[in-house]
Amino acid sequence: MSKATELAQRDVELIWHPCSQMKDYEELPPIAIERGEGSWLYGVDGKRYLDIISSWWANLLGHCHPKINAAIKAQLDRLEHVIFANFTHEPAVKLAEGLASIVPEGLKKFHFNDNGSAAVECALKMCFQYYLQTGKGEKKYFMCLTEGYHGETIGALSVGNVDIYTEIYRPMMMKTFPIKAPDCYRCPYGQARENCDCACFQAAEEVFAAHGHETAAVIVEPLLQGSAGMRIYPPLYLKKLRRLCDAYDVKLIADEIATGFGRTGKMFACDWAQISPDVMCLSKGLTGGYMPMSATCVSQEIYDAFYADYQEGKAFLHSHTYAGNPLGCAAALAVQEVLREDNILAKAQDTALWLTAAMNETFGGHPQVGEIRHIGLVHAIELVSDRENKKPFPAAKRLGYAVYKRALTHGLLLRPLGDVLYFNPPLNTTREDLRFAIETTKQAMAEVLG
Ligand SMILES: *Cc1c(COP(=O)(O)O)cnc(C)c1O
């Protein structure tokens, strides 16, 4: 028995994998990876895979980046972890200073945790408590967009609306006011994403008119609803939302966990709309996808509502054991340095322009490609059974999953969301690698769709 097969067998004996129907593993056993380099993963069986989804949108600058590796190793020999209440360390201080210099204006304080869902939970609790402590306790609910995704813990799940993740847990979840999200590919107003005036924003206006007075915050994934199938909407929507939030005294939480650090072509998706949220959640690319770490960035105004004599009981008593972990901070600092010194964002935008042209050329005329949408290096192909009326394939066919399995056999890690195939590669992926991804996707599609 090969080492790969043996590891896969020992794995399924004991391990329950994330976001998986474990029975599927009988047919597609887990693939044991030995090492990574750049955009490539190398299996113990000697086979290599192009990681075109950045290992769940996290890996920002390639696997085993020499500078990030060195930064973590250097930190490891100094300090691996220290309680972050009442203690601090230089990597955390420098990271906060670095973040302060790049986040949208007005975000002044940085609360560290260890994963994206925790950053979202923090954001929700902070906004709730902010209103409680400023004499507006009636503002205790949250608005969110339909099709939104903000993580898996109960609070984060409550403001999420991707049915396959949330539906079962409804009875456990808190009440929210969902706003019908923009749906640019199937725009009910017949508008085009590039030049629309966001007629769909009316849905937000209606929900604010009805519930603005009892709402603490609205949470959105700015411009890119990732888990919904890489749905992309225009910056104007965010601009309007910022104005509406101000009019109704509702805080705006930007969940930039997936979009942050250049994924959309600018440092943050909010930058496209030139708006500042009141709270911003960061994770994934923060450490280059190396370490579990997240940050909840907040305005001075929110922070000030918690600042008082201890006896007033206004502190934010929220902690996770690994908050501010020095190894995570060291990785994040190295990421900042590489982004700056290697001029990564500008180069990624050049690559993105090239990728868009290459994708349109290869897939633009395909009868089952409904839309090729893109922002930054994120490029998505929505498969449909009928291009004319944009009719999806029956979900039960699991076409995306079939394409995923075919692509794997050809050395491409493509993990579709339903029938949406997408690339979300490390920002420094080469054109050569992207060319391989395109050709392999084309081949896998042909094998499945005929
Ligand atoms: C991944 C993700 C989260 C959750 O982060 P975890 O670290 O997986 O808990 C939240 N929001 C968005 C937009 C994400 O993409």
Q: What share of the chain is helix, strand, coil (3-state, %, to 5)?
A: 45, 15, 40
Distance 446 CA to ligand 1 centre (A): 32
Residue nearest to atom 5 of ligand 1 (CA): 116
Structure confidence at residue 406 (pLDDT): 98
Domain 69-341 sits in CATH at 3.40.640.10
Distance 284 CA to ligand 1 centre (A): 8
**Segment 106-116, tens digit of pLDDT:** 999 999 999 99
**Segment 131-169, tens digit of pLDDT:** 999 999 999 999 999 999 999 999 999 999 988 888 899
Structure confidence at residue 391 (pLDDT): 97
pLDDT at 194 over 90: no
Distance 386 CA to ligand 1 centre (A): 32
Determine how many CB atoms are found less than 10 A away from the CB of residue 291.
20
Atom number, ligand 1, closest to the C-alpha of residue 255: 13
Residue 422 and residue 434 in contact, taking contact as beta carbons nearer than 8 Å? no
d(CA 402, CA 441): 12
Distance 267 CA to ligand 1 centre (A): 18
Atom number, ligand 1, closest to the C-alpha of residue 152: 9
Structure confidence at residue 372 (pLDDT): 98
- 56-69 b/e (C-beta count within 10 Å ≥ 16 → b): ebbbbbbbebebbe
- The preferred substitution site among 264, 283, 322, 424 for testing ligand 1, maximizing ligand atoms within 8 Å of CB, is 283
Structure confidence at residue 166 (pLDDT): 87
Atom number, ligand 1, closest to the C-alpha of residue 221: 13
Predicted TM-score of the model (pTM): 0.98
**Segment 362-406, tens digit of pLDDT:** 999 999 999 999 999 999 999 999 999 999 999 999 999 999 999
Distance 291 CA to ligand 1 centre (A): 14
DSSP lists the bridge partners of residue 178 as 144
- Cβ-based burial of 79 (10 A; exposed 0-12, middle 13-18, buried ≥19): middle
- The preferred substitution site among 166, 257, 280 for testing ligand 1, maximizing ligand atoms within 8 Å of CB, is 257
Structure confidence at residue 389 (pLDDT): 95
Binned at pLDDT 50, 70 and 90, residue 432 comes out as very high
Residue nearest to atom 3 of ligand 1 (CA): 151
Binned at pLDDT 50, 70 and 90, residue 46 comes out as very high
Residue nearest to atom 11 of ligand 1 (CA): 150
- The preferred substitution site among 53, 114, 150, 231 for testing ligand 1, maximizing ligand atoms within 8 Å of CB, is 150
pLDDT at 444 over 90: yes
**Residues within a 6 A CB radius of ligand 1:** 115-117, 120, 149-151, 221, 226, 255, 257-258, 283
Q: Positive or negative, the Cα torsion across 137, 219, 279, 283?
A: positive
pLDDT (average), residues 57-76: 98
Mean per-residue pLDDT over the chain, rounded? 97
The domain locations on the chain are: 31-64+343-449, 69-341
End-to-end CA distance of the chain: 34
32 token code pair: 């044991």
DSSP lists the bridge partners of residue 331 as none
Residue nearest to atom 7 of ligand 1 (CA): 116
pLDDT at 419 over 90: yes
Residue nearest to atom 10 of ligand 1 (CA): 150
Distance 263 CA to ligand 1 centre (A): 14
333 token code pair: 């600092």
Q: How many CA atoms lie within 13 A of 214 on its CB side?
A: 7
Structure confidence at residue 393 (pLDDT): 97
352 token code pair: 């993105």
**Segment 291-348, tens digit of pLDDT:** 999 999 999 999 999 999 999 999 999 999 999 999 999 999 999 999 999 999 999 9
Distance 319 CA to ligand 1 centre (A): 18
- Written out in words, the top-level CATH class of the domain with range 31-64+343-449 is alpha beta
